[in-house]
Amino acid sequence: MGSPLRVLHVVVNMNRGGAETLLMNLYRNIDRSKIQFDFLTCKEGVFDEEIKQLGGIVYRIPYITDVGHFKYRKNLEEFFNSHLDYKIVHSHLDKMSGLVLQAAKKARIPVRISHSHNTSSEGNLAAKLYKWYIGQLINPNATNYYACSQIAGEWLFNGRSTSASILKNGIDIKEYKYSHQTRREVRAEMQILDNQIVFGHVGRFAYQKNHKFLIEVFAEYCKSNNDSILLLIGDGPLREEIEKKAFDLKIHNKVKFLGVRSDIPRILQALDLFIFPSLHEGLPVSLIEAQGAELPCFISEQISKEVDMGMGLVEFLPLNNKRVWVEEIKKRGSFTNRGKLNLDPIIQKGYNIKNTASKLEEFYLSV
């Protein structure tokens, strides 16, 4: 056997976001004797150590927000010119992939992949305009296109979306399988009583995730069911603002801010329902995980219908009416079927990580 094919993944950092979690799931499940992942990042990440243990290299250049457009472009070009041994560059920066792929093409890297994980850009009008402009560089410089869902492909690739391959945000289903024992343990650790209804959400504290709406729905629900708890997993720029909001709504003693966690499969066992009112999403891996843990999911209509595994767990609700959310959650009551559901639909729809990893492996080796 020769040495493995090394693929360079480009991300901002390897922290616990949806795209990054998927990448790590792929990396753990891919045949590393044939393919190795390396990462070009801009900031330190929680997965950096594990990447090194798995045999990967983590490179770092300063991000565009720290050094500006021209310096970032120059850094990218210098990086690719000094790493000409890469045959495949796989960029996960949405619109900003335009700059990465342009620099990779200049350096004559033969396979240049743009991967869409979203359906909208973040930031103010100026930031969105800039990203739109950079996004125009994707089609002339990419050789291959990947997306987590149909709408994510349409958003990023315009006229080329039909040539995009859908790479499913797979999970390791065994890890999420419901366990009553784990539920009891986690609740005991967090001092949550058996009869308390526990809401949960996993996601960065960022505008897109719509925590403000989530907190308001929870506060409204508490008026008729005071024995409820909300667990918020994640961190981000808006965390303080949401902590203050919980305080203002006088529900701060019912909301637990758990920060970034590495034991999400465990925590999901302790929940009764999963709330996800995002303003836009590609196809969130956390919703596949929640269904793997057999949780009823109340989610915004803005999210792709592809996320529903057909297990009767997902309710799509409008973001212009909090009352509807409260009523639907009340109607669902406590979920008695937990632990009895058949998880085969997740596998049949292709969301088993082993399946996702072997598809990607096949593609890398064929190109």
Same domain? For 208 and 307 the reply is yes
Does 338 have pLDDT greater than 90?
Answer: no
Which tokens hold the place of 64?
Answer: 């565009």
pLDDT band at 289 (very low <50, low <70, confident <90, very high): very high
User: Amino acid letter at 115?
Assistant: H
Q: Assess whether 261 and 341 both reside in one domain.
A: yes
Q: 3-class SS at 10?
A: strand
pTM: 0.90
Comparing C-alpha atoms, which of 302, 306, 339, 307 is closest to residue 320? 302
199-217 as b/e: b if 16+ CB within 10 A? bbbbbbbbebbbbebbbbb
Taking only the tens place, the pLDDT of each residue in 318-334 is 999 999 999 999 988 65
The rounded distance, in Å, linking the Cα atoms of 135 and 204 is 24
CA distance 5 to 298: 42
- Answer for the pair 264, 232: CB distance below 8 angstroms, yes or no: no
**Cβ neighbours of residue 31 under 8 Å, at least 6 residues apart?**
361
* Whether residues 339 and 190 fall in one domain: yes
Q: Do residues 329 and 268 both lie within one domain?
A: yes
Both tokens of 35, joined, read: 């393919």
**One domain for residues 224 and 359:** no
Tokens of 299: 């989610």
Q: Give the whole-angstrom CA distance, residue 339 versus residue 254.
A: 26
Length of the chain: 367
Claim to verify: residue 198 and residue 135 sit in the same structural domain: no
CATH number reported for the structural domain that contains residue 94 in this entry:
3.40.50.2000
Q: pLDDT value at position 334?
A: 59
Say what the alpha-carbon torsion angle 134, 135, 138, 144 is, to the nearest 10 degrees: 140
* 158, pLDDT greater than 90: no
Residue where the block lists tokens 């798995």:
54
Whether residues 218 and 252 share a domain: the answer is yes
Is residue 187 located within the same domain as residue 156? no
Distance CA 177, CA 294 (A): 8
User: Do 156 and 237 belong together in one domain?
Assistant: no
Q: What is the pLDDT of residue 113?
A: 98
The arrangement of strands across the sheet holding 273-276 comes to 255-259, 228-233, 197-202, 273-276, 297-300, 314-317
Q: In what order do the strands lie in the sheet with 35-41?
A: 58-60, 35-41, 5-10, 88-91, 111-116, 144-147, 165-166
- What is the per-residue pLDDT for 159? 80
Q: How many domains does the chain have?
A: 2
pLDDT at 160 over 70: yes
Q: Which two tokens stand for residue 251?
A: 């529900």
pLDDT at site 337 = 73
Position with higher pLDDT, 340 vs 241: 241
Q: What angle do CA 330, 333, 336 make, to 5 degrees?
A: 165
pLDDT digits (tens, 9 = 90+) for 123-144: 889 999 999 999 999 999 999 9
Q: Which of 45-49, 156-160, 196-200, 237-241 has the lowest mean pLDDT?
A: 156-160
Q: Where are the beta strands (DSSP E) in the chain?
A: 5-10, 35-41, 58-60, 88-91, 111-116, 144-147, 165-166, 197-202, 228-233, 255-259, 273-276, 297-300, 314-317
In angstroms, the CA 152 to CA 11 distance is: 17
Domain span at 12: 5-170+352-366
Please tell me the predicted confidence (pLDDT) of residue 335.
61
Tell me: do 131 and 251 sit in the same domain.
no
182 and 279 fall within a common domain:
yes
Residues 128 and 182 grouped into a single domain: no
